[in-house]
């Protein structure tokens, strides 16, 4: 027999699902072929691992513990929401304090003296320039 056909029959060989003639042929080939006998050893190890996994008993209380831990996290979520709300209120308060203090400081630096007439005329003409077409202003003599 060829190695490929032996490889196809090894699962049946391990499970005792083949007839005696085929079993004798496979055993004769395994004695001669080190590659196939090594493949059989690896296949046995793989099946043993699968059997061990099937026999492992899972903890029946795992789901209960997971649910309990999730419920313990709910107070932490509420604390985080409170912290976010507090941070938002504190941030708004700091901005309001900054604006109010800027207004107070700005009042101290305002000039209370009346604007002179010459300065008022200059402001008037600058305001009027905004409404003029700049090309006509620059091109006139």
Give the confidence band of 64 by pLDDT, cuts at 50, 70, 90: confident
Fill in the DSSP letter of residue 18. Answer: S
State the helix-helix crossing angle for 20-32 and 3-14, rounded to 10 degrees: 120
* Sign of the C-alpha dihedral computed for residues 70, 75, 76 and 82 taken in this order: positive
Asked if 16 and 26 count as a contact pair (C-beta separation under 8 A), the reply is no
Per-residue pLDDT tens over the stretch 68-104: 877 776 666 667 778 888 999 999 999 999 999 998 8
Per-residue pLDDT tens over the stretch 97-139: 999 999 888 877 766 566 666 677 777 777 766 666 666 666 6
Per-residue pLDDT tens over the stretch 21-39: 888 888 888 888 888 889 8
| 141 pLDDT more than 60 | no
Smallest CA-to-CA distance from 47 within 101, 11, 1 is with 11
Average pLDDT over residues 54-72: 78
* Sign of the C-alpha dihedral computed for residues 30, 36, 40 and 41 taken in this order: positive
Q: What's the residue count for the chain? A: 141
Kindly state the tokens that stand for 47. Answer: 């099946």
Res 122: pLDDT? 74
Return the percentage of the chain with pLDDT > 70, whole number: 76
- Mapping DSSP to helix (H, G, I), strand (E, B) and coil, where does residue 45 land? helix
Average pLDDT over residues 28-57: 86
Asked if 40 and 8 count as a contact pair (C-beta separation under 8 A), the reply is no
| 40 pLDDT more than 70 | yes
């Amino acid at each position: 027999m060829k190695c490929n056909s032996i490889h196809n029959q090894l699962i049946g060989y391990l499970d005792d699902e083949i007839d005696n003639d085929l079993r004798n042929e496979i055993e004769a080939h395994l004695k001669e072929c080190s590659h196939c006998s090594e493949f059989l050893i690896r296949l046995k190890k793989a099946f043993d691992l699968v059997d061990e996994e099937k026999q492992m008993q899972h903890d029946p209380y795992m789901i209960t513990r997971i649910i309990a831990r999730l419920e313990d996290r709910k107070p932490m979520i509420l604390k985080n929401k409170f912290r976010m709300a507090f941070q938002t209120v504190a941030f708004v308060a700091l901005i309001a304090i900054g604006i109010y203090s800027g207004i107070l400081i700005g009042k101290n630096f305002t000039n209370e003296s009346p604007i002179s007439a010459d300065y008022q005329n200059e402001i008037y003409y600058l305001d009027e320039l905004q409404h003029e077409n700049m090309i006509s202003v620059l091109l006139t003599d």
